[in-house]
Chains A and B, each alone.
Chain A
Amino acid sequence: MKLKLKLPNPGLEDRIPSHAELEKLELEEAGERPQWDNKAQYMLTCVGFCVGLGNVWRFPYLCQSHGGGAFMIPFLILLVLEGVPLLHLEFAIGQRLRKGSVGVWRSINPYLVGVGIASMLVSFMVGMYYNTIIAWVMWYFFNSFQDPLPWSQCPINENRTGFVSECERSSPVDYFWYRKTLNTTAVIEESGGLQWWIVLCLFCAWTLLWVCCLRGIETTGKAVYVTSTLPYLVLTIFLIRGLTLKGSVSGIKFLFTPDLDELLNPATWLDAGAQVFYSFSLAFGGLISFSSYNSVHNNCEQDAVIISIINGLTSIYAAIVIYSIIGFRATERFDDCLNGNILTLMNTFDLPEGNITESNYDSFLQQLNSTAPAVFHELQLKTCDMQTFLSQGVEGTGLAFIVFTEAITKMPVSPLWSVLFFIMLFCLGLSTMFGSVEGVVAPLQDLNILPKRWPKEVYTGLVCFVSFGLAIIFAQGSGEYWLALFDSFAGSIPLLIIAFCEMMAVSYIYGIDRFNDDIKFMIGHKPNFFWQATWRLISPLIVLIIFLFYFVTTISKELTYITWDPQSENFPTLEKKSYPDWIYAIIFILSGVPVLVIPAIALFKLIRNRCCAKEEKHTATEPFYSISDKIQIPDELDRTSRSLH
């Protein structure tokens, strides 16, 4: 006998539209809520929201660092157990209750409004720093329209005798990223002032976002035709280009070489779980909003499965493309290293050119070491190891702005590849931003804080403007450190808690029986045992485990960040520094406030209800209507009917 736990939830029927009302809504097409023009727009928007920069620069790195092909196993298992059920849940609840995230949780139970507000806050904070990355992408895009590319060579110093020292010690791509783009300071405390070119790019990014989101899904629905499909086209172009380059296959082989021992490492499973979770953009509230614009009988189960498959396949496809290019770059670096060593040897021993080649290099080296070891040591030849170059595995901004840009400079017709690459990153980021903005605007409308008669344009404009104003902190010299801080803390822990609360709310407060009936009403059949098991037990458990692990590791270790410090000893290696004390307050605001909003709002409502309940008891003794009122009403009716004749 199954015991289905359901917490008491009085008044639920009054807060949600009934099935009959939904049917009526469907037939009459009441126009207040916006609607998708066609199914394709909805699917493209959801795919665009889910497929983002993380698919391109986080997944390949995780794949390569956690045992290559073997990483697919935990990734796919957790995709099925965690990603798909959560996705289906958000789609179904949005489609059923036909509101944004705040409205949905308020309908389920007014005490849960905090969950919606937490989603809104997280969407806002993540949107703020995510669009800054897009601004950086735009900066690189603007700079791609010149030959030679500005990051292909070092600038020359004042007396034209050599290159700028900082550039010479590191590399042109590093210099362009850290000095010309970010103009980064050495520590997070040093602000470095506002970098005006970044402010311009930020302004451009936010206004462009506003144009696409101006009227909500009416405009984003058109924009996604381009922003969701263009990345796939560019990835294919890069795949073809990459496979024709020397050394690309070694990169792909390196990526997929399975190391099954990694499966025993718990960090692999946790990283896979976290990647699935963040990759699906769950708990932002955007997906709930998007599905609330669907028709009631849309097959959300099928949508969830399709989008999960697309997301997974895109990650793998992007990984192949990225690592083919990384393989090419590693081969180029290896060849340069080897040729440099060969040149040094030839110059020292005055041997004719062509005497030492790549094939007899090793044997020559051995011979040299045995005959003249002193000279050999003096030479200080660099070790050229292909594996080291391949596993200079970078993720995040380092991959896009340093490693990939370097690879592009080595390709013929570099500006073209640069333009294509940054357009792709731009589209990937922008389509994710649509979901972020939706995740902020829809709750704002549901909360009724701002006047209702304000048009949607003002809502989106206000959100974009405020976000732009606050995102100016990322345009400082220390902006990159702030962004890394936001990336680590604003999006990670709160989302896990929100997702956990969502699943608990739907399964146990809304009631899994009611939810099953709703889905049967919407798509025609009851969800099978797999969905039941995952919604009620497996997925929440996985999310909880990931959260606990993250929480414990964050609390236990001292928090450090990596900096670009030309004065440091190990320059150009990035130096680890520890955060100043006041950063911990900021971290608390970023991670703690969205999470604490959930119980705080519940408590606030509880206290308010108790107070109001007391007041109502006092006023209940007086009746609302007197007998004389009841007699007057028919007289009024006679009066109005007489006036019409």
Chain B
Amino acid sequence: MLAGVLLLIFLPPLVAKDLCKDSQDGFKVRLSIKTALGDEAYEWNESEMFLFRSTLAYAMRKQSNQDTYNITNILVCNDTQRVSFVFVVTSPNDPDQLIPKEQVERAVRQNKHRINNAFLLSDMTLEFMGIPPTLATPITYDTEPWLIVFGVVIGAVAVGIVALLMSTVSRKRRAKEKAAGLSEVDEGIVKENGTTLSSLGRKEGVYNQAFSNDDRFTEL
């Protein structure tokens, strides 16, 4: 009788352990707390395990929209020093029946973000073996940033080209005006008194003796 009572008391956890160990619906979980948090790493103990089981129960509740999941539905075994273990989920209606793998996977994937944050970990440091992490959506830009910078640079270059070309054109125009102005002054001097000696006083140009007409005056 005593044996029967003892068996009755110890049967559920034994059965539970068997459910967990032999099951193919379980997932191995691995935590790397020290890698993630360094000096601020917390100790992994029963309380932390309690938190884990409750977050998983929460995930199952959200996924199945049933408020019946409880912490007793999450069974854990194969605890190691690495901080890794295996867990299975039993159905709230029937403690001997396990929730299929796919359902658990869906629940975990949907709520990975919340589970990670509960433990201050990330997808890299809280691994569910067999459940690949959903990668974050890549950032999409309306206009690629490189096109913006390209536009700015090309705009500056265009402004530079236009400015330099304008200055060349205006410089040429000024030179032409100067040359035209000088030639008028030149003719004026000759018309006034017919002498080209006053041209010797001008600084511009090189006085070229080959073309001077001075000797004609000395003949007089």
Q: Which residues of A contact B (CB under 8 A)?
A: 28, 138-139, 141-143, 145-146, 155-156, 160-163, 197, 200-201, 203-204, 207-208, 210-211, 214-215, 219, 343, 346-347, 349-354, 455, 457, 641, 644-645
Given A155-B138, A641-B213, verify A204-B82 contact (CB < 8 Å).
no
B47 at the interface (CB under 8 A from A): no
B51 at the interface (CB under 8 A from A): no
Task: Using CB atoms, name the residue of chain A closest to B168.
Answer: A457
Task: Using CB atoms, name the residue of chain A closest to B190.
Answer: A644
The distance in angstroms between the C-alpha atoms of A644 and B214, with both chains bound, is 13
Give the distance to chain B from A426, nearest Cβ to Cβ, in Å. 11
Give the distance to chain A from B52, nearest Cβ to Cβ, in Å. 17
The distance in angstroms between the C-alpha atoms of A201 and B149, with both chains bound, is 11
A644/B194 in contact, CB under 8 A = yes
Q: Of A156, A201, A346, A349, which one neighbours B135 at CB under 8 angstroms?
A: A156
The distance in angstroms between the C-alpha atoms of A208 and B145, with both chains bound, is 20
Q: Of A207, A211, A219, A352, which one neighbours B82 at CB under 8 angstroms?
A: A352
The distance in angstroms between the C-alpha atoms of A197 and B194, with both chains bound, is 70
For the complex with contacts A207-B154, A211-B160, A644-B213, 6 further pairs of A-B residues with Cβ separation under 8 Å are A146-B146, A204-B157, A207-B157, A211-B161, A211-B164, A353-B34
| Chain B residues closer than 8 Å to A215, beta-carbon distance | 164, 168
B35/A353 in contact, CB under 8 A = yes
The distance in angstroms between the C-alpha atoms of A59 and B17, with both chains bound, is 67
B216/A641 in contact, CB under 8 A = yes
| Chain A residues closer than 8 Å to B158, beta-carbon distance | 207
Q: Of B84, B150, B161, B216, which one neighbours A200 at CB under 8 angstroms?
A: B150
The distance in angstroms between the C-alpha atoms of A204 and B161, with both chains bound, is 12
List which B177-220 residues lie within 8 A (CB) of chain A.
194, 206, 213, 216
Given A352-B81, A644-B213, verify A145-B161 contact (CB < 8 Å).
no
B4 at the interface (CB under 8 A from A): no
| Chain B residues closer than 8 Å to A200, beta-carbon distance | 150
B146/A143 in contact, CB under 8 A = yes
A210/B82 in contact, CB under 8 A = no
| Chain B residues closer than 8 Å to A143, beta-carbon distance | 145-146
Give the distance to chain A from B78, nearest Cβ to Cβ, in Å. 9
| Chain A residues closer than 8 Å to B132, beta-carbon distance | 161-162
A353/B149 in contact, CB under 8 A = no
B82/A347 in contact, CB under 8 A = yes
Q: Of A155, A203, A455, which one neighbours B168 at CB under 8 angstroms?
A: A455
| Chain B residues closer than 8 Å to A457, beta-carbon distance | 164-165, 168
Give the distance to chain A from B127, nearest Cβ to Cβ, in Å. 9
The 20 sampled A-B contact pairs (Cβ below 8 Å) are A142-B147, A143-B145, A145-B148, A146-B146, A160-B134, A161-B132, A162-B135, A203-B154, A204-B157, A207-B161, A343-B32, A347-B30, A350-B81, A351-B82, A353-B32, A353-B35, A455-B168, A457-B165, A457-B168, A641-B216
| Chain B residues closer than 8 Å to A214, beta-carbon distance | 161, 164-165
Number of residues of chain B lying within 8 A (CB) of chain A = 34
Given A162-B135, A347-B82, A645-B194, verify A354-B153 contact (CB < 8 Å).
no
Q: Of B30, B149, B194, which one neighbours A142 at CB under 8 angstroms?
A: B149
A204/B150 in contact, CB under 8 A = yes
Q: Of B34, B84, B160, B213, which one neighbours A354 at CB under 8 angstroms?
A: B34
Task: Using CB atoms, name the residue of chain B closest to A355.
Answer: B81
A210/B161 in contact, CB under 8 A = yes
Give the distance to chain A from B105, nearest Cβ to Cβ, in Å. 13
Give the distance to chain A from B77, nearest Cβ to Cβ, in Å. 14
A145/B82 in contact, CB under 8 A = no
A346/B82 in contact, CB under 8 A = yes
Give the distance to chain B from A275, nearest Cβ to Cβ, in Å. 33
B15 at the interface (CB under 8 A from A): no
Binary CB contact string for chain B from 140 to 152 against chain A (1 if under 8 A, 0 otherwise)? 0000011111100
Task: Using CB atoms, name the residue of chain B closest to A140.
Answer: B146
| Chain A residues closer than 8 Å to B213, beta-carbon distance | 641, 644
B83 at the interface (CB under 8 A from A): yes
B74 at the interface (CB under 8 A from A): no
| Chain B residues closer than 8 Å to A145, beta-carbon distance | 145-146, 148-149
Give the distance to chain A from B48, nearest Cβ to Cβ, in Å. 14
| Chain A residues closer than 8 Å to B194, beta-carbon distance | 644-645
B80 at the interface (CB under 8 A from A): yes
B98 at the interface (CB under 8 A from A): no
B108 at the interface (CB under 8 A from A): no
> Which 3 A-B residue pairs are closest in the complex by CB-CB distance?
A142-B146, A350-B80, A353-B34
| Chain B residues closer than 8 Å to A139, beta-carbon distance | 146
The distance in angstroms between the C-alpha atoms of A161 and B213, with both chains bound, is 96
Give the distance to chain B from A219, nearest Cβ to Cβ, in Å. 7
A350/B84 in contact, CB under 8 A = yes
The distance in angstroms between the C-alpha atoms of A457 and B163, with both chains bound, is 13
Task: Using CB atoms, name the residue of chain B closest to A342.
Answer: B35
List which B1-50 residues lie within 8 A (CB) of chain A.
30, 32-35
Q: Of A155, A210, A343, A353, which one neighbours B33 at CB under 8 angstroms?
A: A353
Task: Using CB atoms, name the residue of chain B closest to A155.
Answer: B138
| Chain A residues closer than 8 Å to B135, beta-carbon distance | 156, 160-163
| Chain A residues closer than 8 Å to B30, beta-carbon distance | 347
Name the residue among A161, A211, A354 with the largest chain B CB count within 10 angstroms: A211
The distance in angstroms between the C-alpha atoms of A156 and B89, with both chains bound, is 32
Task: Using CB atoms, name the residue of chain B closest to A212.
Answer: B160
Give the distance to chain A from B155, nearest Cβ to Cβ, in Å. 11
Given A160-B134, A200-B150, A207-B154, verify A350-B82 contact (CB < 8 Å).
yes
| Chain A residues closer than 8 Å to B35, beta-carbon distance | 343, 353
B149/A141 in contact, CB under 8 A = yes
Task: Using CB atoms, name the residue of chain B closest to A419.
Answer: B149
B164/A219 in contact, CB under 8 A = yes
Binary CB contact string for chain B from 97 to 130 against chain A (1 if under 8 A, 0 otherwise)? 0000000000000000000000000000000000
| Chain A residues closer than 8 Å to B138, beta-carbon distance | 155-156
The distance in angstroms between the C-alpha atoms of A349 and B135, with both chains bound, is 28
Task: Using CB atoms, name the residue of chain B closest to A208.
Answer: B157
Task: Using CB atoms, name the residue of chain B closest to A349.
Answer: B82
Q: Of B34, B80, B149, B153, which one neighbours A208 at CB under 8 angstroms?
A: B153
